[in-house]
Chain A
């Protein structure tokens, strides 16, 4: 049974963690695409920026968390969300809006977003240094919950950490909130209308500039959440985005670009595919050692790919989806 617990810890928990993070990131990418029709490459750096804001705020007010009873970075998250949303709107006003006004092709916007990526990354590196930093400062510790399994044979517990629990809760809140927003509110419907037919939206009196700004606020806010929760689970690094960009785009495309529910599903598909691919299947075979052929029983490592090559998994999924089902699991394009 310990093998099963090992499987739960390394695949179910770990997959849910990366799945949630990819899902929240991919929602932003997909919303931006459905409203502005371009792939926003700087999205992962907006995540890093949000995380960096949390780091700065935590450094500035290290004692706040203890008062509330939550980790300080979590308490600082709402403020970081606001700052990242402002950054997103600011970047749009400064870099993307003039291009849109000239009616450039989407590829020009994509290249511009690559420029923004480099700029943001440079800026963050300039202020944060190049090393990894732990978001848990001031002697705070990651709470670790050990869930004992009710089986006699399972001596090892399932391990979930506090930031992981917060991540799961926030993911559910984000998904439900987004669903209600898009389907119940007038503004959400106006967003759907604009992604469907921008000319008609304008002719129906919908202020499309306003919708664009709202899109950036939502995307920026979600980016801050995803980035921070990832950094809480591991550490903050200025080049965090390099590890996120590919899986997030893979998630958005797997789900069908422009489809927020697809992005959520895609996020979990990519997250679980990663953890399943690097999982050492030999562990699960161990209890059946005696009944297996010798060559299989002897194998020490039966992972599909080594952990160092984890990044090839979303890349493979991306290629496979583009070849076999280019519209994604859900048909994309319109919210």
Chain B
């Protein structure tokens, strides 16, 4: 299987603190790969590096064979690499629907000249984007709050909006950063089936950071365990759960 994300020997330090230390991971095309590890293992940092939100110190990141090391996030977005944020981000002064409508790339209205000279084209595109945004907002179950300012939504609703964002465009890889945190159990079931459906039907590849082991067990294969900035083990969820090294990293040595 070809890997769609290939992280090669990445190093990243904040001051003297080495957060990512010679870390190499591969994410197979079409997989839902889990990324777990104790707090401070460098999961989110690694995410930010892949997503172009943080510059790396050394190493290389490839997207489907193309070198994307240190490319800005907006460029990666256009290459089909999307991410959600651990702490849900939203455009708080726009409505939930407008938040989704911001996403689709390269609309004609973004060009200063087209915006004035081709109003017909811009309007048709807007109508199309709006239709899609309404579909997505139905899908994530936020139809009833679509005209609320996104800043007023609850934490869980913001998380759903994050997932909705990734559905507004044809992504190749989606990085999900603790999408389940703060979402109630019923919604969580929907969320998981949505992710599975996007993976199966649309061919999205997912890389998932999650603390909820139940969700990891249901969703992810393979699972990568990160500890102290590099890969500790990689395998199926059963292999991971029975690995003494992992148990030690999570619970401390005296438990095992």
Contact = CB atoms under 8 A, between A and B. Distances in A.
B94 A196 contact: yes
A207 to B, nearest CB: 5
Contacts of B109: 185-187
Given A187-B109, A334-B93, A202 B115 contact: no
Nearest to B169: A205
B89 A203 contact: yes
B53 A199 contact: yes
B92 A196 contact: yes
Given A190-B110, A204-B103, A205-B78, A199 B93 contact: no
Contacts of A208: 72, 74
Contact of B103 (A196, A205, A214): A205
B49 to A, nearest CB: 14
Interface string A253-280: 0000000000000000000000000000
Contacts of B98: 189
A197 B53 CA distance: 13
A13 interface: no
Interface string B103-122: 10111111110010000001
Contacts of A214: 112
Interface in B153-167: 165
Interface residues of B, number: 32
A205 B110 CA distance: 11
A209 B72 CA distance: 10
Contacts of A185: 109, 112, 115
Given A192-B93, A203-B53, A186 B74 contact: no
Contact of B110 (A186, A197, A209, A334): A186
B250 interface: no
Nearest to A204: B103
B82 interface: yes
Contact of A203 (B51, B92, B94): B51
A205 B74 contact: yes
A80 B74 CA distance: 33
A266 B53 CA distance: 37
Contact of B91 (A200, A207, A209): A200
Contacts of A206: 74, 102
Contacts of A205: 74, 77-78, 103, 105-106, 169
A318 interface: no
Nearest to A334: B93
A334 B90 CA distance: 13
Nearest to A185: B115
B85 A199 contact: yes
Contacts of B122: 186
A45 B93 CA distance: 32
Interface string A171-213: 0000000000000011101101100110111111111110000
B12 interface: no
A203 B102 CA distance: 11
Contacts of B83: 203
A214 B111 CA distance: 11
Contacts of A197: 89-92
B217 interface: no
Contact of B90 (A187, A190, A200, A207): A200
Nearest to B111: A187
B53 A187 contact: no
Interface in B102-159: 102-103, 105-112, 115, 122
Given A189-B94, A204-B77, 4 more contacts: A186-B107, A186-B109, A186-B115, A196-B94
24 contacts: A186-B107, A190-B110, A192-B91, A192-B94, A193-B102, A196-B91, A197-B90, A197-B91, A199-B53, A199-B85, A201-B91, A202-B53, A202-B73, A202-B74, A202-B77, A203-B82, A204-B74, A204-B102, A204-B165, A205-B78, A205-B105, A206-B74, A206-B102, A334-B93
